[in-house]
Amino acid sequence: MEALNSLLLLLNEPLVQFFLWVAVLYIIAAIFVDRRVSFWISSISATYFWVKTQDPAVALRAWFVVLAVFTVVLIARYLFHMNIVLFLKGKKRCPMCCEEAYRKAKVCPHCHYSFTSESDECREDKF
């Protein structure tokens, strides 16, 4: 009950509502277009809706959160050559074909390249 109450309290938070909107729009947009495009469609349209009908300060705070997350991801990518999204999925990129493989895999499931170590992976220095 305690957990449910705190969850309901969280749903009353405008910032959480904003991100729920973005998530719903993202899922709808991802059916029709590429994931990266749907990210922009969902975030920009949610921001537009929020500025028009709700508190613009919430949209501003949400974008601040998004920028903070982007900064962390970019710092990890360029300074530590680490892909946080792949890391959270428990995967790495094959140095031969750059496809995703499980971090503990000894052989790439796509091109059958033999990994020499767990850190043997495709560097992602560019987008």
Q: Of 51, 76, 84, 96, which one interacts with Zn ion (CB under 5 A)? A: 96
In contact, 92 and 121? CB cutoff 8 Å: yes
User: Residue from 21, 29, 94, 121 that binds Zn ion (CB under 5 A)?
Assistant: 94
Joined tokens for residue 120: 């043997």
Residue 107 binds Zn ion (CB under 5 A) = no
| Closer to Zn ion by Cβ: residue 29 or 108 | 108
Q: Is 108 in the site for Zn ion (CB under 5 A)?
A: yes
The answer to the question of residue 111 lying near Zn ion (CB under 5 A) is: yes
The answer to whether the beta carbons of residues 95 and 122 sit under 8 Å apart is yes
Q: Please list the alpha-helical segments (H only) found in the chain.
A: 2-11, 14-32, 35-53, 56-79, 84-89
How many residues of this chain interact with Zn ion, rule: CB under 5 A? 7
User: Can residue 93 be called a binding residue for Zn ion (CB under 5 A)?
Assistant: no
Pick from 122, 101, 119, 102: which is nearest to 110 by CA? 101
Asked if 75 interacts with Zn ion (CB under 5 A), we say: no
The reply to whether 23 sits near Zn ion by the rule CB under 5 A is no
Angle in degrees, 0-180, between the axes of helices 56-79 and 14-32, rounded to the nearest 10: 70
Beta bridge partners of 100: 93
| Interface with Zn ion, residue 97, by CB under 5 A | yes
Residue 106 makes contact with Zn ion by CB under 5 A: no
Residues making contact with Zn ion (CB under 5 A): 94, 96-97, 108, 110-111, 113
